[in-house]
């Protein structure tokens, strides 16, 4: 019988395993690299590409994210019941917080709240596009870490 997967194997700490982290999160890293390259480094060049190449550049990170979700779900499925429950709750918390943050930010930008509250100084941040995959993944990771702490305390 195989040993169950542990959440600590992909989180910083004494149980951390670089090999397991690479195995579980390889597709997330691929999605981040594609997204960062197309959004930050090659933003002006991508706009000049033909439509089919721009479509590939837009869909490639999403495909990698879907593959990452599939790999993560399989890894969570290999946990024991308590770890699976805590990790599933942390994942639900992370996706809910990320979705709420992005929707709230876009709504506040549309209403012009940032220009009123922070005139001049906050203008660049108010126009920040939060719908790029690399930013969404960072929000997910941060809110997952917070959720993991909350739900670990709850079950101790």
- Give 11-33 pLDDT, tens digit per residue: 888 888 899 988 998 998 898 88
pLDDT in tens, 61-70: 889 989 999 9
Structure tokens at 85: 């429950």
- The model carries a pTM of 0.73
Q: Token pair of 153, please?
A: 């305390």
Q: How far is CA 122 from CA 70, 92, 109, in A?
A: 38, 31, 11
Angle at 153 between CA 148 and CA 156, to 5 degrees: 125
Closest C-alpha among 75, 73, 65 to residue 137 = 65
Q: Quick one: pLDDT at residue 76?
A: 92
> 3-state DSSP call for residue 15?
coil
Q: What is the structure's pLDDT at 39?
A: 72
- Read off the pLDDT of residues 75-116 as tens digits, 9 standing for 90 and up: 999 999 989 999 999 999 999 999 998 888 878 777 777 666
Q: What is the spatial distance between Cα 156 and Cα 120, in angstroms, rounded to a whole number? A: 47
Q: What is the pLDDT of residues 41-53, one digit of tens each?
A: 677 777 788 888 8
End-to-end Cα spacing for the chain = 27
- CA-based nearest residue to 104, from 123, 126, 121, 122: 126
pLDDT bin (cut points 50, 70, 90) of residue 119 is low
User: Cα–Cα distance between 149 and 41 in angstroms, integer?
Assistant: 35
DSSP 18: H
């Amino acid at each position: 019988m195989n040993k169950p997967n542990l959440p600590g194997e992909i989180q910083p700490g004494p149980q951390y395993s670089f090999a397991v982290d690479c195995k579980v999160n390889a597709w997330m890293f691929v999605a981040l690299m594609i997204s960062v390259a197309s959004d930050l480094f090659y933003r002006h060049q991508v706009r000049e590409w033909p439509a089919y190449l721009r479509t590939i550049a837009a869909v490639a990170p999403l495909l990698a994210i879907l593959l990452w979700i599939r790999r993560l779900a399989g890894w969570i499925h290999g946990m024991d019941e308590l770890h699976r429950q805590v990790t599933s709750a942390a994942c639900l918390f992370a996706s809910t917080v990320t979705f709420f943050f992005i929707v709230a930010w876009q709504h506040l930008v549309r209403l012009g709240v940032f220009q009123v509250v922070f005139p001049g100084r906050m203008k660049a941040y108010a126009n920040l596009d939060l719908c790029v995959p690399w930013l969404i993944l960072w929000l997910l990771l941060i809110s997952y870490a917070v959720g993991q702490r909350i739900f670990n305390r709850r079950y101790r």
